[in-house]
């Protein structure tokens, strides 16, 4: 598969993308700059091409200057997999599930904001990471493969880099830039004076450990974007990608908390917050456009300390989720249900009728069919 920030989709870019497609089954595009009404342009790139995408702006937006942003995922219909487009509710993320008998993969294409001294970009970066995590957790049966333009160079000591690394560590996923088979030197250049690796693929454990054959970049003369396309070659043999048993991770369960638990949580949290030192120098700074690194770092550390206080207080005061197969629940009638006689009696009646009609053996009486096609239900 491939990933390419094309920075526009004029005829020259479409011709170049057409040269990439024969070498990949799936292609991530970023910054196509298309509106919703212009997506049919993608179908003109090549014959027999399937795609989905999102625009970087809304149709009602009034644009100042050129269009911007946007993501798309292109794939060949010959790919032997069932395809499901995932709604991401974002102008910077698009996702598709590819499933076959041997494997299931959630493919996520992203275009992340660049890092500057603007807090808005950092907030957007964190928000998009949260959206990606939500998509991943909503598809627990899938291997994870996401990529695109992250505007993060792992060799830079920057805040977005730290956030990105922490995000990967928390989810147990790895950027292919750290893989032994990666030979990428740079993916972006600014006027041939500044070079960096800001385009990445990120993989879950099995794909990263057992399936990567090579990760390469193409520095082509006819590429008119300042980003170069990267390619990931995976070996998806059945013995490589078989899903292992899902590991259960206990989490804080607020629904289990009692009034006493909440009171204890408030008390512990208040104590922890009281012991956090305030960054007075940063808070009392009168410069509205302050760019001092020590002030920014002090506020970041203060925010991190507050977050840690909330998490640690919850860990010590609130009950945690338990394994669904070890919950201690015993099937049967509880005292509360037994006391509500109609529910128990009705349930026993329909269960007896089910047994008498041999439903469990697949014998269904025509008189009991619902008029709704595909539905086989009993009529009271």
Identify the structural domains of the chain with CATH numbers, from first to last: 2-241 (3.60.10.10), 254-317 (no CATH), 330-368 (no CATH)
Query: What is the per-residue pLDDT for 99?
Result: 92
Take residue 116 and report the two structure tokens written for it: 């500057």
**Residue 7 to residue 123: CA distance in whole angstroms:** 24
* CA contacts within 13 A on the Cβ side of 304: 10
Judge if pTM exceeds 0.85: no
Q: What is the pLDDT at residue 296? A: 82
Give the span between the Cα atoms of 94 and 41, in whole angstroms: 18
Q: Where is 267: in which H helix or E strand?
A: helix 259-274
Burial of 8 (0-12, 13-18, 19+ CB in 10 A): middle
In order along the chain (380 residues), what is the average pLDDT of each group of 10 residues? Answer: 93 93 94 87 88 82 66 90 91 93 92 81 89 91 93 90 91 94 94 90 93 95 94 81 57 83 91 90 84 84 89 88 63 58 71 67 46 43
76 touches 25 (CB < 8 A): yes
pLDDT at 63 (0 to 100):
55
Q: What is the pLDDT of residue 61?
A: 60
- Note the pLDDT of residue 342: 64
Predicted local distance difference test score (pLDDT) of residue 367: 47
Q: Can you tell me whether residue 111 is helix, strand or coil?
A: strand
Q: Is 277 exposed, middle or buried (0-12, 13-18, 19+ CB in 10 A)?
A: exposed
């Amino acid at each position: 598969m491939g990933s390419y920030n094309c920075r526009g989709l004029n005829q020259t870019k479409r011709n170049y993308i057409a040269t990439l497609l024969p070498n990949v089954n799936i292609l991530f595009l970023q910054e196509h700059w298309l509106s919703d009404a212009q997506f049919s342009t993608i179908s003109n790139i090549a014959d027999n091409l399937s795609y989905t995408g999102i625009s970087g702006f809304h149709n009602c937006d009034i644009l100042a200057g050129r269009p911007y942003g946007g993501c798309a995922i292109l794939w060949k219909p010959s790919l032997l997999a069932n395809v499901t487009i995932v709604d991401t509710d974002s102008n910077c993320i698009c996702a598709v599930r590819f499933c076959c008998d041997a494997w299931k993969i959630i493919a996520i294409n992203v275009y992340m904001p660049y890092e500057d001294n603007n807090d808005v970009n950092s907030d957007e970066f964190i928000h998009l990471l949260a959206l990606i995590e939500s998509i991943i957790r909503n598809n627990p049966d899938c291997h994870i493969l996401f990529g695109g333009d992250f505007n993060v160079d792992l060799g830079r000591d920057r805040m977005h880099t730290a956030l990105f690394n922490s995000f990967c560590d928390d989810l147990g996923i790895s950027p292919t830039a750290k893989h032994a088979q990666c030979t990428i030197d740079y993916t972006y250049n600014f006027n041939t004076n500044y070079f960096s690796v800001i385009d990445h693929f990120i993989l879950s454990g099995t794909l990263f450990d057992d399936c990567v054959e090579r990760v390469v970049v193409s520095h082509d003369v006819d590429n008119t974007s300042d980003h170069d396309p990267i390619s990931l070659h995976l070996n998806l043999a059945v013995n490589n990608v078989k899903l292992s048993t899902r590991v259960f991770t206990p989490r804080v369960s607020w629904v289990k908390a009692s009034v006493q638990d909440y009171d204890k949580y408030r008390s512990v949290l208040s104590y922890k917050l009281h012991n956090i030192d305030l960054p007075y120098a940063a808070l009392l700074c009168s410069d509205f456009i302050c760019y001092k690194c020590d002030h920014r770092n002090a506020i970041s550390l203060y925010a991190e300390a507050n977050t840690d206080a909330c998490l640690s207080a919850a860990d010590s005061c609130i009950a945690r989720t338990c394994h669904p197969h070890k919950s201690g629940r015993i099937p049967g009638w509880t005292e509360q249900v037994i006391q509500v006689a109609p529910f128990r009696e009705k349930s026993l009646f329909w269960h007896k009728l089910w047994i008498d009609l041999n439903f469990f053996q697949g014998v269904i009486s025509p008189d009991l069919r619902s008029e709704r096609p595909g539905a086989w239900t009993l009529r009271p």
